[in-house]
Amino acid sequence: MALLQISEPGQAPDPHARRIAIGIDLGTTHSLVASVRNGVAECLPDDQGRVILPSAVRYLGNGKRAIGHDALAAQAEDPQNTIVSVKRFMGRGVADIANATQLPYELIDKPGMLSLQTIEGEKSPVEVSAEILATLRQRAEDTFNNDIYGAVITVPAYFDDAQRQATKDAAQMAGLNVLRLINEPTAAAIAYGLDNASEGIYAVYDLGGGTFDVSILRLSQGVFEVMATGGDSALGGDDYDRALADVVLTATGRSLSNAADKSRMLTSARACKQALSDSTEYVFQVELSDGAINHKVTRAEFEACTQHLTRKTLQAVKKALRDANLQPTDIQGVVMVGGSTRMPHVQSAVGELLQCQPLNNVNPDEVVALGAAIQANQLSGNNPNGELLLLDVIPLSLGIETMGGLVERIVPRNQTIPTAMAQDFTTYQDGQTALALHVVQGERDLVVDCRSLARFELRGIPPMAAGAARIRVTFTVDADGLLSVDAIETNSGVQAHIDVKPSYGLSDDQIAAMLQDSFHTAEYDKNARALAEARLEADRMWLAAQSALNADEHLLTADEAAVIRALMKDVLAAKSLETPAAIEAATDALAKGTEAFAAARMNDGIRKALAGKHIGAM
C-alpha cells in the first residue's frame, strides 16, 4: 500500500490542490448552486435531495428566519414578512416598481434603493439576497466539508450597473469571494455549448420569473463571443401570473382587499399557468377571505391575456438581431432557458420568429447554474489548459449629462468588455473652476429617461475662458460589467476618479459589519480574521509567483530569478508571524518584485499568440 504524504510545517500547500469553486444562479423565483466535480458540472442538492432553493426569505422576529421551502410554505399566512422575488427590487427605488400596490409588502423609499419593512425592521434587498446566497454557500460547504474558494454569480444580461453592484454586494455580505459576475444567457450558452459541442451562431432566450434576456452568441472552439444582448429586467413569469390573476378577478367580479389574499391569488395563478402548459383547460381555484373562486380558464384564454408580454420579448429579440447585424435565418439554434419557457405559446412564438426548433435538452432550470460552475472552475485555476474564453458585452449604453439635460453616450451598448472609452468635454462659462459630472445608463437621449448611476465633481480647474478647458472623461468597464469613471483636465492635470457605487451607499465598512453581525455564527476576533486573510493572500501570491516561475522562468536572468525566489522565501517566513501588517508587507514586496516579470510574461504570451499568423500573408 502506498504511504500517504504529509507536508512539512509552514510549507505552502500543493499548488495543484483543487480549489472548490461554485456557480450560483440567483434567480427571481428560485436559486441554485452548482460545482464541477470529477470534470462534470452538477447542481448540489440540499439534505433532502432538492436542488432548487425557492428565493424566499421569511423574517420570524428575534433574529430568526426561514429560507427557501420553509419560507414559501408560510407565504400565505405571513405575506408581509415573507419576501419573494426580491431580485426585482435589487438596485431599484419604489418609483421603479410597476404595480407596487399589488405587492403584499410595505416598501420604504430610500435614495438609490428601496427597503422592505418586516418584523425584523427594515431590510434592504441586498440583505435579503445575501440570506439566500449564504444558504447556498452553506449547502456547498456542507457538501464538500470544506471552505469555498470563490463563486461565480449570474445576473440577467440586461441588469444595469446598479443592479450588478447590488448583486456583488449581496455576495460579499454572504461571505463569498466573487470570482466574477456573468450574464445568465452566457452561462446557459456555456453549459449548452460545451455539452453539445456546438459551433456557430446561437440565440439564448431566457425568460425567468422576473427578468427577460436575449443574447446572440458566436461559438467557436471554446470561445463564447456575445454579439448582442437585449431584454427587460422587469418582465418575467411573474407578469404572466399577474395578468392571469387580473383576468380571473375581472371575470368573477371580485377584488383583493388584503396582503394575504394578494399572495394567495398570485400563488394560484402560478399553479394555473403551470397546469395550462400540459393541459388545455384548468379550473382556477383560490380560497380568499371573502369566499372561494372556482373559475375555468382555457389555454387559449391564458394565451390571449399574456400575448402582449410574449410580443414584448420578441421585439427585444429582433432588436438584438439588428444590433448584431443578423437576420433570423443566421441563427442556427435557440437555447431556451428559465422555467417560463415551458409555456407552449412562448416556445412556438420564438420558434416561428427564428425559424428553428427551440432547444431545451438541458434542464431550463439548471442550465444557468451549471454554466456558472464551469466558469467558476476555470477562474479558480482548476483547469489551466481550459479552452473556455468568454467575450461578453455591456447591455446598456453609458454616458454623461451635458447642457440641457441631454446624454452624451461614451460607451455604446453591446461593446465587448473589458473596455475603456473616452470623450473630451469643456467648460460652459468663463472662469468656471469646477465641473459636475452625472453618469447615466440607458438608450434614451434625455437624462430624465435614463438611470442615474452616480454624480461626482472635478474641482480645481484653473480659471479659463469658456470652452478653453479640455476635460477628458474616461469610462472603464471591467470584466464584471462594472463601471469606474476618471476625469482629467488635460492642461492643468487636475483629476478625479469614482468607482460607480449606486447611491444606496452601503460602504465597505458597513458591509463588513453586517457580515460580522449576521452571517458568521462563530465569534471572530478582528485580529484573527485579519491574520487569516493576510496569510491567505500570502499563499495566493506565493502560489502565483511559483506557477509563473514554473511556466516562464526562461524569460528571467539567473539573478532576476534569484531575487524573486528570495522574496518568496520572505513571504513564507513572514507567514509564521502574528502581525497581519508584517505578512502584508512581505506579500506586497513580492507583488512589486514580480511586476516586471508579469509584464515580460504578458509580452511573451502576446507574441506566442501572433507567431506565424499574419493577415497580410493570407
Partner 1 sequence: MVSDGIVTGALTLACSDFELFDIPPRFQIDPVALDQLWKQLQRQVHPDHFSSQGAADKLLAMQWSVRVNEAYQRLKNPLRRAAYLCELNGAPIRAEDNTAMPHAFLIQQIQWREELDEATDAPAIEALQQQMSAEKQQLLQQCADAIDIRSDWTQAAQSVRALMFIERFEHDLDNRLERLDNN
Out of 479, 511, 555, 561, the only residue in the binding site for partner 1 (CB under 8 A) is 479
Would you count residue 234 as binding partner 1 (CB under 8 A)?
no
Which is closer to partner 1, CB of 55 or CB of 380? 380
Question: Is 25 an annotated catalytic residue?
Answer: yes
Would you count residue 225 as binding partner 1 (CB under 8 A)?
yes
CB of 337 to partner 1, least distance (A): 22
Using alpha carbons only, give the angle 553, 533, 7 rounded to the nearest 5 degrees: 60
Which of 184, 238, 366, 401 is flagged as catalytic?
184
Site for partner 1 in 532-551 (CB under 8 A): 540-541, 543-545, 548
Out of 163, 183, 347, 380, the only residue in the binding site for partner 1 (CB under 8 A) is 380
Question: Is 508 an annotated catalytic residue?
Answer: no
Would you count residue 610 as binding partner 1 (CB under 8 A)?
yes
User: Closest by alpha carbon to 511, among 130, 57, 110, 140?
Assistant: 130
DSSP symbols for 550-589: HHHGGGS-HHHHHHHHHHHHHHHHHTTSS-HHHHHHHHHH
Order of strands, sheet of 419-425, starting from the edge strand that comes earlier in the sequence: 419-425, 471-477, 483-489, 495-499
DSSP symbols for 511-552: HHHHIIIII--S---HHHHHHHHHHHHHHHHHHHHHHHHHHH
CB of 402 to partner 1, least distance (A): 14
Would you count residue 19 as binding partner 1 (CB under 8 A)?
yes
Pairing mode, strands 389-391 and 223-232 = parallel
Beta bridge partners of 435: 458
CB of 512 to partner 1, least distance (A): 19
Would you count residue 253 as binding partner 1 (CB under 8 A)?
no
Site for partner 1 in 389-448 (CB under 8 A): 389-391, 415-420
Q: State the burial class of residue 613 (Cβ atoms within 10 Å of its Cβ: 0-12, 13-18, 19+).
A: exposed
Q: How far from 160 is each of 30, 91, 129, 318, 580, CA to CA, in Å?
A: 21, 9, 17, 20, 37
| 267-275, 316-324, 554-562, 571-579 -> range binding partner 1 (CB under 8 A) | 316-324
Would you count residue 167 as binding partner 1 (CB under 8 A)?
no
Q: Which grid coordinates belong to 67? A: 429560507
Would you count residue 613 as binding partner 1 (CB under 8 A)?
yes
Would you count residue 572 as binding partner 1 (CB under 8 A)?
no
Which of 46, 206, 392, 401 is flagged as catalytic?
206
Which of 46, 78, 87, 365 is flagged as catalytic?
87
If one counts every other C-beta atom within 10 angstroms of the C-beta of residue 481, the result is 25
Would you count residue 472 as binding partner 1 (CB under 8 A)?
no
Q: Which grid coordinates belong to 383? A: 483547469
Kindly list the residues in this chain that would bind partner 1 in the complex (CB under 8 A). Answer: 19, 179-180, 220, 223, 225, 315, 318-319, 322, 375, 378-381, 389-391, 415-420, 476, 478-479, 540-541, 543-545, 548, 590-592, 594-595, 598-599, 602-603, 605-610, 613-618
Active site residues: 25, 87, 184, 206
